[in-house]
Amino acid sequence: MPSTAKGPAEVTAQRLRERGERVTPARLAVVEVLAGTDEHLSAEQIGERAEQLRPGIHRATVYRALDALGEFGLVTHVHLGRAGTTYHLAGDLAPRHLHLRCSECGTVLDVAGDILDPVRRKLLRELGFHLAPEQVALVGLCKDCSS
């Protein structure tokens, strides 16, 4: 029996059409690149890989696609300090996760997105503050560097 589950590129195309937005080769290439890796990729790295997937796509077009997909909530970014900004799929296109960056060796670890939920609830309850740690890396020492 064939699977009816849609991949991230098909879901993205559907959502773009629903919004009345254009489904472009660059936008789909960005989603395909991000869906195909667990790495933390910079805009430049995404551009290089998108060009390999779809020859003829220009890097500037990929950057505009990243911006547009970010505005639509399909892609998000995280600031990793000295390591720069990296991008990944957002919403239900990818599991919700947070980033930990070792200040010593620079390793970036992904952790479950709900790990800070008790802190989020407490800040909201006590201060009315909505914590959004998904776009920054929490900095500390990894296991290897702290031993």
pLDDT per residue over 77-94, tens digit each? 988 877 788 999 987 888
Residue keyed to tokens 């009816």: 4
Q: Judge whether residue 1 has pLDDT over 50.
A: no
| Cα gap 103→144, rounded to integer Å | 12
> 136 or 116, which is more confident?
116
The per-residue pLDDT for range 22-49, each reduced to its tens digit, is 999 999 999 999 999 988 899 999 999 9
What's residue 6's pLDDT? Answer: 80
Residue keyed to tokens 């914590």: 131
Model confidence, pTM = 0.81
